[in-house]
Amino acid sequence: MTNIRSFKNRPDLYENFKSEVSVQSPGRINLIGEHTDYNGGFVLPSAIDKYISMEFRKNDTENFCRLYSETFKTGFEFQLDKDFSKAEGWENYVLGVVDQIQKMGKKIEGFECIIDSKLPVGAGISSSAALECGIASGLNELFDLGLSALEIVKLSQKAENEFVGSNCGIMDQYSSVMSRKDHLIMLDCDNLDAEYIPADFDDCKLLLLNTNVSHNLADSEYNTRREECETAVKIIQKDHPDVDTLRDVDFTTLEKYKDKLTPTIYQRCIYVLEENERVLNAARTLKAGKLKEFGELMYASHEGLQHKYEVSCPELDFLVDYSRDKDFIYGSRMMGGGFGGCTLNLIEQDKIDSYVEEVSAAYFERFNIKLDAISVFPNVGTQITKTIR
């Protein structure tokens, strides 16, 4: 019998919820460096000013846990001391985190939690990582578990890999927790060295355009891409045992293995090596204030994702193509895992309103789908407030 019971109505006793710990857990953007994190490569993400709010309190039971989502208008409850099988939807991210915390030998007790999300699901801005990291941070504070920020990042990623079953890298969780306001994180996913680069975009702003599509290929194809890269590494490893990830492979070495890899896998590898170079160049151009060059790298990243890594979709390509002849847009690319979600656009601030109007009409005309525009800025990672009971 399952230990998880779902319910629809907001529990009455949540009317005057006396919160002990409040958490704001943000979504993230990634300026460049897509599908590089699980290949030991570079990424350039940041948390954003849109987040999931969570309120936690103990309920003085040893094992009874109950959570309610204001966003989905559903809740669920479970017992900590019974096995929890996989559930459906957002519940899994919560259960996965609790499972990891328990596997680490940390003791939590019964709790109540209200979740309110302002992050669109399936938009590629990591609502799942925000949920995982927020739950982990809240429980850490509520039960004084003594977990470091990095432990929270890693356990949340593990929850997603092992419980939810998505083989994601570390970028989303790292940026949701570790970001600083008005900075981007130049993260080396090989050793987690992080450099914080000021996000100075001059007269430009970052604009997300949400395709409002999320093709169901996303999960399976994501895991397939990862396997393709790992297959290449295994083949190269036979002669080069020091190669752990594609990060350890250079273009000359890759070329020598062209005939041993399928054409598809070879293309995937080329993309990853090129994208890593683009991230390094992007960080340089950003520091030098060369925003147009930075934007060109964004376009090049999109082309690689579209043609070599093949994780884009017609809706994303349409939006990127639509921006190309607009000189007030410096760069545009799909963001996140792909197959839907948002494009990220570096656009002159005073042109945003008129462009959103124009591109929304064109998008609707082409796909009969409403486009959503979301202005974002790089913001601080997880925020935690504790109230004394």
Contact set with ligand GLA (CB under 6 A): 34-35, 37-38, 126, 168-169, 171-172, 336-337
Least separation in angstroms between CB 38 and ligand GLA: 6
Q: In angstroms, what is the minimal distance from the CB of 253 to ligand GLA?
A: 23
Backbone angles phi, psi at 348, to 5 degrees: -65, 130
From CA 36, how far away is CA 271, in angstroms rounded?
Answer: 9
Nearer to ligand GLA, 109 or 303 (CB): 303
Contact, 124 vs 315, CB < 8 A?
no
C-alpha of 36 from chain center? 13
Spot the catalytic one: 172, 193, 350, 372.
172
Q: How far is the CB of 348 from ligand GLA (least distance, A)?
A: 26
**CB 65, min distance to ligand GLA, A:** 26
Whole-angstrom distance, CA of residue 32 vs CA of residue 14 = 42
Of 337 and 381, which CB lies nearer to ligand GLA in the complex structure?
Answer: 337
Give the residue with the Cβ less far from ligand GLA, 322 or 339.
339
Taking the C-alpha atoms of residue 43 and residue 33, their distance in angstroms, rounded to an integer, is: 4
**DSSP secondary structure string for all residues of 124-144:** SS-HHHHHHHHHHHHHHHHTT
In angstroms, give the least distance from the CB of 388 to ligand GLA. Answer: 36
- Distance, in Å, from the CA atom of 31 to the CA atom of 337, rounded to the nearest integer, reads 13
Pick the closer one to ligand GLA by CB: 28 or 57. Answer: 28
CA–CA gap between residue 160 and residue 166 (Å, rounded): 6
Q: Has 321 been annotated as catalytic?
A: no
Q: Residue 114 or 123: which CB sits closer to ligand GLA?
A: 123
Measured between alpha carbons, how far is 271 from 308 in angstroms, rounded to an integer?
Answer: 6
What does the alpha-carbon distance between residue 64 and residue 217 come to, in Å, rounded to a whole number?
36
DSSP 190-220: TTTEEEEEE---TTEEEEEEEEEEE-TTHHH
List active site positions.
172
